[in-house]
Amino acid sequence: MKISAYVRVSTTGQNETGQREAIQAWVDAHYPGTEIVWYVDKESGDTLDRPEFARLQSDVFAGHVQQIVVWRLDRLSRTVKDGLATLCDWCDRGIRLVSVSQQIDFSGTIGKMIASVLFGVAEMEQETRRERQAVGIAAAKKRGVYSGRRKGATKAGIDPKRARKLREQGLTQSEIAKSLDVSVSSVRRYLKQVN
């Protein structure tokens, strides 16, 4: 038996080690010696358009996944709509979903009900974070100390032309993102800059 583990951090600067260690410890305690298939994204939870999540979904559809383990449920999604649709689809396929930090198995009706509350909390936290950021930016603008993100800013040391060259070699946006160690949204922005 293999266990699928999904890990997500919001930016390429964040480290997924803590999530990996917690998941590994849970698997070692419950299923010693079981192989883990890792799916790791460095993308926002606002959308399901993430390369490793797409790979996980592909494996789910192919019938290769029986159990998915996450550190927290909000690693899957930060929206109620996407999160519940995904969870319900997995449950309908007989896939068990476990959150190790929340110590919850989301299989069955009660699991779905708890998940709907947790996805709602995650979405609310995301909106609150955006509101605080907007208030902070407005205050900085009022004081005259906010100049915004510099137009065309990229991750240190990355030339957007590299993204174009990789695209010309036939790489997908997801593959380019992995190659450059940036998010897919950054790749899209780089490709627009060099057009």
Residue carrying the six token digits 């293999």: 2
| Overall number of domains in the chain | 2
Condensed to tens digits (0 to 9), the pLDDT of residues 25-62 reads 999 999 999 999 999 998 887 788 899 999 999 999 99
Task: Give the distance between the most distant pair of CA atoms in the chain.
Answer: 59
Global pTM value: 0.64
**Same domain for 9 and 78:** yes
The active-site residue, picked from 4, 10, 58, 101, is 10
Q: What is the mean pLDDT of residues 93-117?
A: 78
Q: What is the DSSP letter of 73?
A: G
For residue 132, tell me if it sits in a domain: no
Q: What is the mean pLDDT of residues 76-90?
A: 85
Mean pLDDT, the chain, rounded, equals 82
For residue 129, tell me if it sits in a domain: no
C-beta of residue 45 within 8 angstroms of C-beta of residue 8:
yes
Q: Which of 109-118, 130-139, 152-161 bottoms out in mean pLDDT, i.e. has the lowest?
A: 152-161
For residue 41, the domain's CATH number is: 3.40.50.1390
**Same domain for 165 and 111:** no
For residue 127, tell me if it sits in a domain: no
For residue 164, tell me if it sits in a domain: yes
**Same domain for 30 and 87:** yes
More confident residue, 195 or 39: 39
**Same domain for 112 and 41:** yes
For residue 75, tell me if it sits in a domain: yes
Choosing from 72, 105, 120, the residue where a domain stops is 120
Residue 65 has pLDDT above 90, yes or no: yes
10 in active site: yes
* Domain limits for position 31: 2-120
Q: What is the mean pLDDT of residues 141-149?
A: 77
pLDDT recorded at residue 178: 73
pLDDT recorded at residue 7: 94
Which ranges constitute the DSSP H helices of 31-144? 51-61, 80-92, 108-143
Give the chain's count of helices (H) and strands (E). 7, 5
- The residues, ordered by sequence, that sit 6+ positions from 194 with a Cβ below 8 Å of its Cβ are 160, 161, 163, 164
For residue 150, tell me if it sits in a domain: no
**Same domain for 88 and 32:** yes
**Same domain for 165 and 115:** no
**Same domain for 39 and 97:** yes
Please tell me the chain's helix, strand, coil percentages from 3-state DSSP, rounded to the nearest 5: 55, 15, 35
For residue 60, tell me if it sits in a domain: yes
